[in-house]
Chains A and B, each alone.
Chain A
């Protein structure tokens, strides 16, 4: 079985859980003898090439004269994205976006006529244009390669998936890692993104959601037929156990938040919970690791609550810094407002850190050794943290059982389910052909 997979990010260049997940799944599928062509918008050159044959989209010449591609291009509506919805944005991109806006319309015609395309590899202001161009490349790859099934991760690649399906006639599986409802919240939905998500799922032969939480959203808000939606929970890559032991520099207990400082992640609830705890217990420090559009607002709030001597911002952490942060932590908190899955708590547990997670997270569906609280229940979050800091048997139990629990959440297992999903889709198609 051979899969044409459209991913977006690939280690080591990842800005969020999406890249980690598609990489883990790819490795898991290879263990089950699934071949694949993994397509990313831009290869940085140092990807782990063992996992997949990486086709650099920039290296694919587009023969725009091919009829079906032009057909697809004709069917594609060019959409321009609103300004304040930017998933996984870096501060450095922020300024660039405004520059890009000026050029994007003019460039469009020019780009269609070109032979090769360079993709930025990161999301930007001209995101919709990139999505469209990526779709054309997708169709081109589909025409030149042999495969059995197409798999597209998140809305950014759905157009490519649809184009590939049209060109090849092969079935399409779309993988919902997040919905616009998670990213933006119900009141700030970007209708264009919503439209692409919906179209992708409607065109797909199978929709994989990363949690039942996401599955419910997809049924309720996107009106997708429940019969073709299947939940396959994410997993986590195993790591080498011999982590370095750090000397702790502070005598206080450390409670950590790690994630983008955006609406979706609920960082403000962490700040409020910190205040409640510090009122009673001086022997704690709070660390907020990450960056995002709420950064300034959060700093102001921390200052206003007068807890700044015990509340620390680290900015964006990556790789070894994340591991180091976990080693210094006594409790990890993920108060996400809407988290389709949520990989970070698993990373924390793997590093022997007990976790408090919001009930509004997909990972809450698979974890038993975690405290689960509603994200808005600041008192509940505070109480859970306090319990873990003060009642030793609880944290000991979580550490002991948590590592084992996480070790059992293997990509290999998730990939097996994904492969079974491919098989059932292919079987359906054969039966339909008869």
Chain B
């Protein structure tokens, strides 16, 4: 049996407002609320809502036979909550069907994987927790921003306990090999790597309405025939695309929704085809080889590299300046700074600064709110300069309080918690993520474990146990960072 694996990327960044240099130091609000809200509402109405409804309809019709997967960035989820809660509700409905896999990614849809392992891991954990909180499932499969992948990134992902990761079936990486097999990471073979079939994916995502394409119009018969004619040895056709393909990039009038409404039936009629989620594909098939990707790839442009986001002078300066404060941000306790820090990391800001398509600007013009890459850069740098000012102020005030706390040396966090009353500990525990709970439970001492057994329900304890079993042992550095988190949370208790 061969599989068709559908995966959709859902992402919306927080776009910045026009931020002039005279705002520096005075105005600390960076976002164009009106633009963000109106884009969210437009895309919700044209794409997310109708497509979610269609998928629900298809799941009702085909039952377990039809499956899809999503990755939804943290910034998209936050904006659903803020602007279009009905979209979030409909994703929750999809989650409840059990036919939908949700993937993990970096919370901010960031390029942190290219710069800092620590920040990368932090954001993935944040995103996992967010998905868990909203949809009640812990993601088992990872996909990085814009399918960015390298051997090294894959290794980090394997270390974090993920079993599967998605990326692009880039020609220059595959050579003569087919993307329609399961591969493994070149460093850690435990991580399976699924490769996007760009031919099939782009038939839908880019060429569907192109009347100059010799296969236009694309019918469900034609497309399911192509899929049905996979080499019998091949395992899977990975169709990965932006979710906005449906209704936003390809308008309703192109017939894209009708196409998708009829496609599953046509595919399921083929005796050799079925639908599977990435996790199922990864479980089902034996990987055939390791895939070697020493230099990072992505699913963007002809080059399938990172030059849409990084590489020109202005992108590199902005990127370096942004991550120059990473260490300071680890110590920063101001929640509003932390939120802005995430929003500024969205890869989109760097995409707007790309100069390589001056020649064919029209395609990319669509995605940018700026008149030119240079305006995007100046605006971003103005915002970042203000962020620097705030961070410096925060650092100063923190140093002052640090001096106070130095006079009374810090107590071990586990000791502090050991002295907590049950009521206080319960309050504290409510606030903790599964990861933190598991660290607290297994890395502290018997006294705390006894207390926790009393105040935490059995179900919850099982989950903690489960989490512990599915994740790797914590390094001492990681334990320290959990302790630091706990310390901050204790400090915030009334």
Contact = CB atoms under 8 A, between A and B. Distances in A.
Interface of A: 276, 279-280, 368, 371-372, 379-380, 382-384, 386-387, 390-394, 396-397, 400
Given A397-B312, A397-B313, A387 B381 contact: yes
Tell me whether chain A's interface is mostly helix, strand or loop, or mixed: helix
Given A383-B21, A397-B312, 7 more contacts: A372-B371, A379-B20, A387-B381, A387-B382, A391-B377, A394-B313, A400-B313
B317 A393 contact: yes
Contacts of B314: 391, 393-394, 397
B21 A386 contact: yes
Interface in B357-386: 358, 371-372, 374-375, 377-378, 381-382, 385
Nearest to A279: B22
A379 B18 CA distance: 11
B313 A368 contact: no
Most buried by A among B22, B358, B382, B385: B22
B316 interface: yes
A394 B317 CA distance: 9
B349 to A, nearest CB: 14
B382 A383 contact: yes
A245 B22 CA distance: 34
B429 interface: no
Interface string B313-356: 11011100000000000000000000000000000000000010
Nearest to A393: B317
Interface string B6-47: 000000000000001110100000000000000000000000
Nearest to B371: A372
Contacts of B382: 383, 387
Contacts of A380: 20
A372 B24 CA distance: 22
Contacts of A387: 21, 374, 377-378, 381-382
Nearest to B381: A391
A45 B358 CA distance: 46
A276 B358 contact: no
A433 to B, nearest CB: 41
A387 B375 CA distance: 9
Interface residues of B, number: 21
Nearest to B24: A280
Interface string B187-229: 0000000000000000000000000000000000000000000
Nearest to B315: A393
Nearest to A389: B21
Contacts of A394: 313-314, 317, 374, 377-378
A159 to B, nearest CB: 41
25 contacts: A276-B22, A279-B22, A368-B355, A368-B372, A371-B374, A379-B22, A380-B20, A382-B21, A382-B22, A383-B20, A383-B21, A383-B378, A387-B374, A387-B377, A387-B378, A391-B317, A391-B377, A391-B381, A392-B317, A393-B314, A393-B316, A393-B318, A394-B313, A397-B313, A400-B313
Contacts of B21: 280, 382-383, 386-387, 390
Nearest to B361: A368
Contacts of B372: 368, 371-372
A276 B21 CA distance: 10
B332 to A, nearest CB: 24
Contacts of A372: 371-372
Nearest to A281: B21
Nearest to B359: A368
A371 B313 contact: no
Nearest to B375: A371
A193 B377 CA distance: 44
A161 B318 CA distance: 55
7 pairs of A and B residues whose beta carbons are closest in the complex: A387-B378, A393-B317, A393-B313, A397-B313, A386-B21, A383-B20, A391-B381
Contacts of B371: 372
A364 to B, nearest CB: 11
A393 B314 CA distance: 5
B377 to A, nearest CB: 6
Nearest to A386: B21
Contacts of A368: 355, 358, 372
A406 to B, nearest CB: 15
Nearest to B358: A368
B378 A396 contact: no
Contacts of B381: 387, 390-391
A384 B378 contact: yes
Given A387-B381, A391-B317, A382 B374 contact: no
Interface string B447-488: 000000000000000000000000000000000000000000
A393 B311 CA distance: 12
Interface in B375-430: 375, 377-378, 381-382, 385
A46 B64 CA distance: 90
Contacts of B378: 371, 383-384, 386-387, 391, 394
A26 B317 CA distance: 44
Nearest to B380: A391
A372 B385 CA distance: 22
A77 to B, nearest CB: 46
A368 B359 CA distance: 10
A381 to B, nearest CB: 11
Contacts of B20: 379-380, 382-383
Contacts of A279: 22
A91 B20 CA distance: 39
Contacts of B312: 397
Contacts of B22: 276, 279-280, 379, 382
A17 B381 CA distance: 36
Contacts of A400: 313
A380 B317 CA distance: 22
A386 B374 CA distance: 13
Nearest to B316: A393
A387 B355 CA distance: 17
A372 B375 CA distance: 9
B242 to A, nearest CB: 28
Nearest to A374: B371
Contacts of B385: 390
B369 to A, nearest CB: 15
A196 B313 CA distance: 50
A324 to B, nearest CB: 28
A392 B314 CA distance: 9
A310 to B, nearest CB: 17
Nearest to A379: B20
A113 to B, nearest CB: 60
A397 B318 CA distance: 13
B272 to A, nearest CB: 51
Nearest to B321: A391
Contacts of A280: 21-22, 24
A279 B25 CA distance: 14
A70 B317 CA distance: 70
B25 to A, nearest CB: 9
A390 B22 CA distance: 13
A1 to B, nearest CB: 33
A79 to B, nearest CB: 42
Contacts of A383: 20-21, 378, 382
Nearest to A387: B378
A382 B358 CA distance: 25
A279 to B, nearest CB: 7
A372 B378 CA distance: 12
B385 to A, nearest CB: 8
B85 to A, nearest CB: 36
B355 to A, nearest CB: 8
Contacts of A396: 313
Give the most central of A386, A391, A392, A397: most B CB within 10 Å: A391
A366 to B, nearest CB: 12
Contacts of A382: 20-22
A330 to B, nearest CB: 15
A394 B318 CA distance: 10
A170 B47 CA distance: 61
A96 B385 CA distance: 55
